[in-house]
Amino acid sequence: MTKKVLVGLKIASYQHPFDQKALTSLNKMPGLPLLMKKVNEYGVDRLLRMQVVGGEFKVTPRNFPKLHDAFLETCKILDFAPEPELYLFRGMGNIQTYAVGAQKPIVGVNLEAMEWYTPDELLFALGHEVARIKGGYILYQQIANVMPLLKNIISSTTLGLGGLATSGIEMALYNWIIMSRFTSDRAGLLACQDVNVAITALMKLAGLPGDYLNTDTIADFQAQAREFTNLNLDSLDQITKIFSFMEYQFPWAVMRAAELLKWVDSGEYEQLIQAENLPQPENTTDWNFMSSW
């Protein structure tokens, strides 16, 4: 089935409200400018790029055509150009993808993602990462990735390690990372344009091999996700959030499926995908913080 190319798509038109709220709170944290300064000062962006380019396989139409074609289609559907560089990295025993590079974006997928995902599921996974670049989210993600190192560096400054802890910036950062996935998953669905594909992609991300995907397992997973929607994430108290979200790198597949199904059930996804002219927010540019990074 030919997929609709979403010309003029802006991230604000599908941004999850939890993402928006968490990002607003994060930007109010007094320690954030210092973290950004240290990231720039120590050339984290450049070092991460060097690590990728120096150790992973650059994807081209000749070496990995399935992956390359899916990436080009994803960028076209989501109206994102120019396409970032795409890299393939070693198998980890589970599906992993990433986006890095505030100045020169790179998207990476591992061997399992390439082998275990169908072409349409790849659209979902790649759309998730493209949304992070399109929305200008990369620097915050990189801060989280190097937070242990940054805390050691900042412990010798006037803010100090204790200042970081008491400011709550680390908790705010990890909370936002989880909430931002809801927005990126919406972009993934806009890329693959099939909620069933999005659900099976999340199931594989959670560790279920494709051999176990059948009508019953998919139905039960969706039922579990819909049951999870009864838990109001926005009303969780702070202590519960701290203990729940400490492992921010977990895939949280059921929770993400719950929010994605909620969006589909609301009719907002269908309205967006069927719109003749995509709705343009008052601010017609994507949220892009790269200029301050």
* Per-residue model confidence as pLDDT tens digits over 5-63: 999 999 999 999 999 999 999 999 887 887 887 788 788 889 999 999 999 999 999 99
Domain that residue 149 falls in = 11-278
Q: Are 95 and 205 in contact (CB under 8 A)?
A: yes
With respect to residue 155, please indicate whether it lies within any of the assigned structural domains. yes
pTM > 0.85: yes
Amino acid at 273: I
Is 292 among the domain residues?
Answer: no
Is 100 exposed, middle or buried, given 0-12, 13-18 or 19+ CB atoms closer than 10 A? buried
Q: pLDDT tier at 2 (50, 70, 90 boundaries)? A: confident
More confident residue, 202 or 230: 202
192: left (phi over 0), alpha (psi -120 to 50) or beta: alpha
Domain contains 290: no
Residue 290: is its pLDDT beyond 60?
A: no
Count of domains forming the chain: 1
Does 143 score more than 80 pLDDT? yes
Kindly report which listed range (64-68, 165-169, 187-191) carries the lowest average pLDDT score: 165-169
pLDDT at 293: 27
Asked if the structure places residue 240 within a domain, the reply is: yes
Q: Give how far Cα 281 sits from Cα of 13, 18, 182, 188, 277, Å.
A: 7, 18, 19, 20, 12
Rounded to an integer, the average pLDDT of 149-175 is: 63
Residue 220 to residues 93, 203, 210, 258, Cα–Cα distance (Å): 24, 11, 15, 13
Give me the pLDDT at residue 292, please: 26
- 85 found inside a domain: yes
| Interatomic CA distance for residues 37 and 204, integer angstroms | 38
Low-confidence winner among 112-121, 133-142, 159-168, 183-192 (lowest mean pLDDT): 159-168
What average pLDDT score do residues 224-248 get? 66
Mean pLDDT score, 267-279: 88
Mean pLDDT of the chain: 86
Looking at residue 221, what is its pLDDT? 97
Beta bridge partner(s), residue 97: 109
Instruction: Extract the tokens encoding 13.
Output: 């038109």
Query: What would the 3-class secondary structure string for 209-237 be?
Result: CHHHCCHHHHHHHHHHHHHHCCCCHHHCC
CA angle, residues 122, 23, 226, in degrees to nearest 5? 55
Question: Does 4 fall in a domain?
Answer: no
The pLDDT of residue 238 is above 80: no
pLDDT bucket at 117, cuts 50 / 70 / 90: very high
- Mean pLDDT for 233-256 is 67
In a domain, 92, yes or no: yes
Helix (H, G, I), strand (E, B) or coil at 104: coil
Q: What percent of the chain has pLDDT over 70?
A: 81
Please check whether residue 109 lies inside any domain of the structure. yes
Residue 162 has pLDDT above 60, yes or no: no
CB of 79 closer than 8 Å to CB of 6 = yes
pLDDT tens for 86-109 read 999 999 899 999 999 988 999 999
38 phi, psi to nearest 5 deg = -65, -40
Are 292 and 143 contacting, i.e. CB atoms less than 8 angstroms apart? no
